Structure 1
Amino acid sequence: MLFDTHTHINDEAFDTDFSEVLSRAEETDVRRMVVVGVDRVSIARVFPIIDQHKYIYGAIGWNPEDAIDMTEDDFQLIKRELSHPGIVALGEIGLDYHWDKSPKPVQHEVFRRQIRLAKEADLPLVIHNREATEDTWRILKEEHAESIGGVMHCYSDNWKWAQKFIDLNFYISFGGPITFKNAQLQRDTAAQVPLDRLLVETDCPFLSPHPFRGKRNEPARVRLVAEKIAELKGLSLEEAARVTTENARRCFRIHENG
């Protein structure tokens, strides 16, 4: 069984064939997933999905690109909804220096507030880091995020930094880019991450793995990510699936039968 730890199946890209997407996931043994909401619209679309599907879990938070748009009402909404029994993490949150929309000080403040909120709610974090590794690590360390831990989502940096995040009680999650020809850095890093700290994800509808690069991604394709992890680690696909699923359950504190 595979666990896709990061999806945006609440995205309108799936409006016309949502049921078929879930069926294809089940056919490829993707039996668990997390759906992530990152702004007002996508957060609202998390709850109908997790209410109707027992083995789809939710994560909600405010993404860093839009930090400047976050109001106090938005913060309070996230705070209220974290108590929903299907919510297993706060995220994705973090820092994004690629886009110019939200100034760094604003991103930092929104990031810190949400880390503190996650600690109050005793929920792990899902971290988005783009071109901001040092500041992301520093803020997590200063806010003592190791008390709740979480996921470095769609990890794209080197092993040195991965080690530092692992030391802060974070799991390292890889997505479709690990299958790209130009992603040797991610493969080298994944090869060194301890087995008990590895997760797999799609980030669908984005970042479709090879040979589907550029097309709409979907949870079924997390299998291709797991196959690449298995190859890098010298494991069978079954073993890679078992380990990463166990890690996901431990990270998100999911206790279930079967």
Structure 2
Amino acid sequence: MFLVDSHCHLDMLDLEKTTTGLEAGLDGVLEVARKRGVGHFLAISVNPWKLDSLRELIAPYKDVSLSVGLHPLHQPDRPITLEELTELASADDLVALGETGLDYHYDQDNHQLQQDYFQMHLDAALAVNKPVIVHTREAKEDTYRLLKAYAEQGGQGVIHCFTEDLEFARQMVGLGFYISLSGIVTFNSAKQLRQVAEVLPLDRLLVETDSPYLAPVPHRGKQNEPGYVRDVAEFIAELRGLDSEFLAHQTTENFFRLFPLARKQTSGLVSNSKEDYLVD
């Protein structure tokens, strides 16, 4: 089995609370995940001014890719311009823009500022020809409006940690976007999300942990870790009546299709139990 954790915050893990313990550090966390069949990880940036520290953290690992972005609920240490973001995103080791998007859950008075930053990410993504990783929460109309214009210009991306309804999922797929499901789908309360998981086109599905948050069943209450993406994938496979190896293969194929630079960064042969991914 070969799985990809398409969205994890490796710099936010509390290494004193991991399954491997403090002494193992991030090396141990990733090794445990690899032993569970997780062969690639996308480390997500939420603050562009802290990109270098995240880059340094993952530098030893050839199976970890990197994004650059500003989370809608994070204010940067200082404002960033389109030119600065585009320059950062143009680096060869950056595979995507994000995490970006809109979050209206807390009913803040900064909706326009969020939209301005979101649009900046979309413009930068088009400029450097890289996909976007989108966070959206209680902001469906504005998210769709901005992404529709972006998609019409050839932009691609993924709605990560999807929590919206089936109608919105269909709108996003209609724009050519991918949908990434996290451990939330395993929660007993996630009936609406399971409806999405049951009918989502398989060629548009990704899986993620969003670690250290939202640990899936049976790990709820613990810190989430990249290795738990296997629990997410196996749950979805069972929900859909699919072989878990097949689902792993499909979601991995989808990931490298959306993030081709991650494929190029991976050295050697990325192996799947049913089919191999030859990396240029």
- Short-chain TM bin: over 0.9
Give the C-alpha shift of residue 67 in structure 1. Answer: 5.0
Give the C-alpha shift of residue 123 in structure 1. Answer: 0.4
Partner of 2:11: 10
* Structure 2 residue identity aligned to 1:202: T
Match of 2:65 among 57, 74, 87: 57
Deviations 1:127-160 (A, max 9, x none): 0001111110111113346612111000011111
Partner of 2:257: 250
Counterparts of 1:208-223 in structure 2 under 5 Å?
A: 208-223=215-230
- Alpha-carbon distance in structure 2 between the residues aligned to 1:48 and 1:27: 24
Give the C-alpha shift of residue 113 in structure 1. Answer: 1.2
Partner of 1:148: 155
- Alpha-carbon distance in structure 2 between the residues aligned to 1:52 and 1:68: 27
Asked if structure 2 preserves the Cα contact closer than 8 Å seen for 1:64 and 1:96, the reply is yes
- Alpha-carbon distance in structure 2 between the residues aligned to 1:122 and 1:12: 30
- Alpha-carbon distance in structure 1 between the residues aligned to 2:48 and 2:88: 12
Deviations 1:140-196 (A, max 9, x none): 113346612111000011111111101111100000100000001111101111010
Match of 1:111 among 95, 112, 118: 118
Partner of 1:25: 33
Task: State whether structure 2 residue 91 is matched by structure 1 residue 84.
Answer: yes
Give the C-alpha shift of residue 96 in structure 1. Answer: 0.4
What is the number of residues matched between the two proteins? 257
Name whichever structure is richer in helix by fraction: 1
User: Structure 2 length as normaliser, TM-score?
Assistant: 0.86
Partner of 1:160: 167
* Structure 2 residue identity aligned to 1:90: L
Residues 125 and 145 of structure 1, relative CA distance in 2, 3 Å threshold: farther
Q: RMSD over aligned Cα, in angstroms?
A: 1.9
Give the C-alpha shift of residue 118 in structure 1. Answer: 0.5
Partner of 1:179: 186
Residues 179 and 12 of structure 1, relative CA distance in 2, 3 Å threshold: closer
- Alpha-carbon distance in structure 1 between the residues aligned to 2:122 and 2:109: 18
- Alpha-carbon distance in structure 2 between the residues aligned to 1:159 and 1:69: 37
Q: Which runs of 5+ in 1 are unaligned?
A: none
Deviations 1:188-213 (A, max 9, x none): 10111101000000000000001211
Return 8-17 or 49-58, whichever deviates more. 8-17
User: Structure 1 length as normaliser, TM-score?
Assistant: 0.93
- Alpha-carbon distance in structure 2 between the residues aligned to 1:111 and 1:70: 16
Asked if structure 2 preserves the Cα contact closer than 8 Å seen for 1:50 and 1:86, the reply is no
- Alpha-carbon distance in structure 1 between the residues aligned to 2:58 and 2:28: 17
* Structure 2 residue identity aligned to 1:125: V
Give the C-alpha shift of residue 68 in structure 1. Answer: 7.7
Q: Which runs of 5+ in 2 are unaligned?
A: 17-21, 271-280
* Structure 2 residue identity aligned to 1:210: V
Asked if structure 2 preserves the Cα contact closer than 8 Å seen for 1:179 and 1:209, the reply is yes
Residues 33 and 146 of structure 1, relative CA distance in 2, 3 Å threshold: farther
